[in-house]
């Protein structure tokens, strides 16, 4: 991914965490928010170079995921949305298109509700706006998920970024215990 012109990666102090982000390309800002257990690379690695040809892509990693530190508090979509909004403020980006995948889609919807002035366009992929929209058995499966159920590609990517099995398990447990939306509106 680093072959793209105008590439930058950095950390920003955001609401008690060191939030990792990357900026690729130039143009109108497009924020990418990864899915649960994932990273920028595992959610967007294939499409990011294509998007960066047209947009200034700001890809983030949320609390306890990938490069970003943990704040020692539970994860929530509200907190994640606040973190993304604060990062945009620090980057002097008043408004952006927002693309969220899976849990990132939930965060993107929360960002649109909590910080509507930050969102020009909202793109939600593989997420639902109501708890009842999940397939039967989904929530029970999440409550009973084990570390063995986590896709190996996510484990490998996390450990390549941060070789800390305890941090990986912490992230997995936080994702499994994240409060789920009853309804987003």
Query: For residue 170, what pLDDT band results from cuts at 50, 70 and 90?
Result: very high
Predicted confidence (pLDDT) at residue 183 exceeds the cutoff of 50: no
Q: Which CATH class is domain 8-176?
A: alpha beta
d(CA 121, CA 180): 24
Q: Span 89-102, mean pLDDT?
A: 98
Predicted confidence (pLDDT) at residue 16 exceeds the cutoff of 70: yes
Task: Give this prediction's pTM.
Answer: 0.94
pLDDT in tens, 28-49: 999 999 999 999 999 999 999 9
The residues that bridge with 167 in the sheet, in sequence order, are: none
Q: Span 160-172, mean pLDDT?
A: 97
Q: What per-residue confidence (pLDDT) applies to 2?
A: 44
d(CA 8, CA 91): 12
d(CA 139, CA 2): 37
Q: Span 125-132, mean pLDDT?
A: 84
Domain boundaries, the chain: 8-176
pLDDT in tens, 107-116: 999 999 999 9
């Amino acid at each position: 991914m680093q072959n793209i012109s105008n590439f930058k990666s950095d950390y920003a102090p955001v609401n008690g965490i060191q939030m990792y982000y990357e900026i690729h390309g130039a143009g109108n800002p497009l924020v990418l928010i990864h899915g649960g257990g994932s990273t920028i690379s595992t959610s967007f690695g294939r499409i990011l170079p294509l998007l960066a040809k047209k947009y200034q892509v700001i890809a983030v990693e949320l609390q306890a995921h990938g490069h970003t530190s943990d704040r020692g508090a539970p994860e929530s979509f509200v907190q994640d949305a606040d973190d993304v909004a604060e990062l945009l403020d620090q980057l002097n980006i008043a408004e952006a298109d927002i693309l969220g995948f899976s849990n990132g889609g939930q965060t993107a919807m929360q960002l649109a509700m909590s910080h509507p002035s930050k969102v020009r366009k909202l793109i939600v992929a593989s997420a639902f706006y109501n708890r009842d929209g999940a397939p039967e058995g989904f929530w029970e499966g999440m409550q009973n998920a084990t570390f063995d159920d986590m896709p190996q590609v996510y484990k490998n990517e996390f450990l390549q970024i941060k070789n800390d099995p305890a941090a990986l398990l912490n992230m997995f447990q936080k994702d499994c215990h994240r409060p789920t939306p009853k309804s987003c509106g």
